[in-house]
Chains A and B, each alone.
Chain A
Amino acid sequence: AQSVTQLDSQVPVFEEAPVELRCNYSSSVSVYLFWYVQYPNQGLQLLLKYLSGSTLVKGINGFEAEFNKSQTSFHLRKPSVHISDTAEYFCAVSDMEYGNKLVFGAGTILRVKS
């Protein structure tokens, strides 16, 4: 069985500061990894995904994530955040089967302060 741990439930940060949202996963098989963002009262939007190849993945809105197989991590980073980045971020893992059935972490709320 797979599981995902998002190590911080909330991350407060000032505008224009860098941020890292941490994600660790466990799985006995190869996986796909995803980060989704959810703005208040909205659905989930894909930020970025790791399927194979380069371990550094770039996504939308200036976000990037690095896949580290030895540490089973997939941390999300942004060098300079904006107020508009305030949202909840979900890390998810898929075992590449069953239509990419996802297992989600509990989410991290990013609060960007001015």
Chain B
Amino acid sequence: DAGITQSPRYKITETGRQVTLMCHQTWSHSYMFWYRQDLGHGLRLIYYSAAADITDKGEVPDGYVVSRSKTENFPLTLESATRSQTSVYFCASTGTDTQYFGPGTRLTVL
């Protein structure tokens, strides 16, 4: 099915571990984004990408790494997870003028 998917949907990990959240879109959109959602903050931009091999920081990039070797994939890696990174993570991609969101990954760092 066309759209944007995220995996895993739920993840529990421990402090200090590396975690990678996957995002895949089937529209061939150039722009892709990662946001985190926390109570009282709405969604905040972590990183975004304008095309394969082009990425840039958003509002809250510290502790995260992204890559984009293929247009359709935009993985987000937490190199050493911390409790403050417990959150819901949303991937998105932009069509002509609208951003479309994936279903989210709920990450808990113990």
- In the complex, A9→B101 CA distance in Å? 22
- In the complex, A32→B99 CA distance in Å? 12
Mask, B91-105, CB within 8 Å of A = 1, is 000100111111110
**Complex contact A42–B103 (CB within 8 A):** yes
- Contact-residue size bin, chain A (C-beta under 8 Å from the other chain): 20 to 34
Chain B: residues with Cβ within 8 Å of the partner, total of 24
Mask, A82-101, CB within 8 Å of B = 1, is 00000000100000001111
**Complex contact A101–B101 (CB within 8 A):** no
- In the complex, A99→B48 CA distance in Å? 9
Determine whether A17 belongs to the interface, using a CB cutoff of 8 Å to chain B: no
Mostly, the A contact residues are: strand
Segment at the A interface, from B11-19, B35-43, B61-69, B79-87: B35-43
- In the complex, A92→B35 CA distance in Å? 13
Residues 7-28 (chain B) with a chain A CB within 8 angstroms: none
Q: What are 27 A-B interface contacts by the 8 Å CB criterion?
A: A4-B42, A34-B99, A36-B101, A42-B103, A42-B104, A43-B101, A43-B102, A43-B103, A45-B101, A46-B98, A46-B100, A49-B97, A90-B42, A98-B48, A99-B30, A99-B31, A99-B33, A99-B94, A100-B94, A100-B99, A101-B31, A101-B33, A102-B33, A102-B45, A104-B35, A104-B44, A106-B41
- Residues of chain A at the chain B interface (Cβ within 8 Å): 4, 6, 9, 32, 34, 36, 42-46, 49, 51, 90, 98-107
- Residues of chain B at the chain A interface (Cβ within 8 Å): 30-31, 33, 35, 40-45, 48, 50, 56, 58, 90, 94, 97-104
